[in-house]
Structure 1
């Protein structure tokens, strides 16, 4: 499978997502322009920025369905790896796979940002149109009110108007009612604080008071909203003062957008980008982010499985993957409450013990990790033994660089491996 075949496979995977304005042939041609560069990226000869370029191109082609991200990530993590390194037994397989995961993370991050920008652009366009129509009401009342009403009723985002002297709702559209979970007929004449409810008003209350007093002209933020039925949503709420031709405040315009799906997608993509797809453990990126954020004394245990290559060679990669998943589960169970395990790639795992009390605790953790891997693994009814070499380091993160720490545990691990092989 070459670059063109990859584009065809990708376009096929996107079938069923929200239809763009392009034909299937045009989609294939669009993706074909990235094929060779994506293959080169997983092979380490091209910058990862090509993934972000591909994401921007798909968003520009009107792919707005989260399903497009999900299927694209699968293509990048599976089909692209197969194309770049068809033989899982080759030496470059794991590096290619790791780069493919990083490539997918770059793609997902850019796609999410593109979705957010598109949604915010729509919101800003709607708000600007509503404000423009309202400000022209005095001069062209008949025409302006007709335009505003059309925008008001047909907008896909929630719009409401508020009396600036009383803080009471004047009118809302159906989209606003759906977002807040309150019937449109029940909102006019009620204070905004009463509609949002005490559990939701929070930060908005102070901002709303500053808006009514004239201290600020607008505010905007995201907040969790609890509907009257108890369900929760995430809404993007903005409120703006509308002034007449003499600069006097006339009323307030509020706009709400339900961003729950976008927020959940962003959270899911963040999780996928920071966790190993096979074992579910934190990956290299998340581990080093966690390590960089720690303070004080920490302990690190670096594990490299012994005998794992033989499992792959004799039982196949499916059996190897099963062993890796079981290793991850055993490491989780052996961790202290303040410990975190991650998979660096291949058969390499690492454990961080935050606020480690000293060498005695670190040795106890290390012994526990090795003991957890001592029992044989059941692979398709066959008993398989896989040990581990382990290197440990106890350091003060306030005075030790991350690369120095990793060099210390890496050296200790290989020393342990050499001793095991000698025995």
Structure 2
């Protein structure tokens, strides 16, 4: 394909996402430079964390829509992998694919961080402008009030002013929309009355500190329940404007709706901590949960028997469908019993049991896992059957030597596989 063609494909994927000030040739040149760095990361010749810097460059070029991130991740995980392994072996392709997923996760993290920094910088600029105009109103009322009104009415962020008794002086349209109430009904009412009991929390406590003189400003993120039942996530900054005697004259607040940003961050966290094929927790999330598990702790290490033959006979597309079906069966069989199922690679799965009662419970869960795989998997007229070998480990205390614990579970599983304690029934197809 070549670097230039890869840049063109990437530019085509981003076409229409924003209206950048650069020409098409400039965009392709920029993407070619980024693609060169990301390809090196996917090949494993440089640290994959350079993907974070590459994402920041993309945000700086005004690609801020979540679609730009989604399409860029697809370029990394598909186009760049095909560029590196057009005809590679399965093991080579798998290694490159795994590195591409890690690079894509770092790219997503860098994109989120850069996007958040850009939004917060814009918010700080707006807050500084609004505060400057509000303070100037005391000495140059006629001129500065006109300036403040222009900022107030036209700002895309929410702005509100509150008097020293806690009653609303004015709000702009953006803030009224965030709160889910008409701007016309808020002036003259107390903040407590407007927010309602469901929203009296940390933000309101900080607001009272401002009125009482206990603080000059605060900033926090808060979830606001609107009257229609929807929830807005708001990044709120408030400052006290004092008179010449140091008394609180009024408060001014700047609010930014970060609901979509939080949804994007949650989605990116989920994608980075879950297996893209099966939707199960991946190695990263599993080891985090294991390190913080409540003891006693039990593990069931499961390796599919006969899965390689499924891939060899019917190909990877069928193999992927089998893995998805297996993952669903395992989840449904053990989650009601308190187990967390994760895919840690290939055809290997593991179940974490917190507050495990001992070997009897692990034997019960192992039986549930094996029973879940007993029925054939029906795929386009074929009946595919896979079995499994399972090794279990039980520890009384909080896991500390994670590697040793995993090695013990892996060893137990292979011991059972070798002994043929519960071997696979072997894959078979029926048209």
With structure 2 as the length reference, what TM-score do the two structures score? Answer: 0.93
Indicate the residue corresponding to 2:95 in structure 1: 95
Change (3 A) 1:386 1:43: farther
Change (3 A) 1:138 1:271: same
Indicate the residue corresponding to 1:208 in structure 2: 207
Secondary structure in 2 matching 1:92:
helix
Indicate the residue corresponding to 1:33 in structure 2: 33
Q: Aligned residue pairs: how many?
A: 422
Alignment check: 8 A CA contact 1:301 1:393 kept: yes
Following superposition, the deviation at residue 22 of structure 1 comes to: 2.2
Secondary structure in 1 matching 2:280:
coil
Structure 1 residue ranges (4+ consecutive) displaced by more than 6 angstroms after TM superposition: none
Indicate the residue corresponding to 2:426 in structure 1: none
Indicate the residue corresponding to 2:71 in structure 1: 71
Alignment check: 8 A CA contact 1:94 1:346 kept: no
For structure 2, the residue ranges without an aligned partner over 5 or more in a row are 424-431
Indicate the residue corresponding to 1:256 in structure 2: 255
Following superposition, the deviation at residue 174 of structure 1 comes to: 1.2
Change (3 A) 1:244 1:372: same
Alignment check: 8 A CA contact 1:220 1:239 kept: yes
Indicate the residue corresponding to 1:120 in structure 2: 120
Secondary structure in 2 matching 1:91:
helix
Change (3 A) 1:333 1:88: farther
Indicate the residue corresponding to 2:8 in structure 1: 8
Partners of 1:257 and 1:202 in 2: how far apart? 18
Counting only pairs closer than 5 Å after superposition, residues 5-404 of structure 1 correspond to structure 2 as 5-87=5-87, 89-164=89-164, 166-244=165-243, 247-335=246-334, 336-398=336-398, 400-404=400-404
Indicate the residue corresponding to 1:405 in structure 2: 405
Alignment check: 8 A CA contact 2:290 2:399 kept: no
Secondary structure in 1 matching 2:159:
strand
Secondary structure in 2 matching 1:301:
strand
Following superposition, the deviation at residue 57 of structure 1 comes to: 0.5
For structure 1, the residue ranges without an aligned partner over 5 or more in a row are none
Partners of 1:137 and 1:244 in 2: how far apart? 11
Q: CA offsets, 1:263-314, max 9 Å, x none?
A: 1111111111111111111111111111111131111112222221221121
Following superposition, the deviation at residue 246 of structure 1 comes to: 5.3
Alignment check: 8 A CA contact 2:292 2:398 kept: no
Alignment check: 8 A CA contact 2:105 2:272 kept: yes
Following superposition, the deviation at residue 227 of structure 1 comes to: 1.6
Partners of 1:315 and 1:66 in 2: how far apart? 37
Change (3 A) 1:87 1:353: farther
Q: CA offsets, 1:20-48, max 9 Å, x none?
A: 22222222211211323322322332211
Following superposition, the deviation at residue 352 of structure 1 comes to: 0.9
Partners of 2:51 and 2:126 in 1: how far apart? 31
Farther-moved stretch of structure 1 (60-69 vs 241-250): 241-250
Partners of 2:260 and 2:399 in 1: how far apart? 42
Partners of 1:313 and 1:87 in 2: how far apart? 17
Alignment check: 8 A CA contact 2:210 2:216 kept: yes
Change (3 A) 1:297 1:39: same
Alignment check: 8 A CA contact 1:294 1:397 kept: no
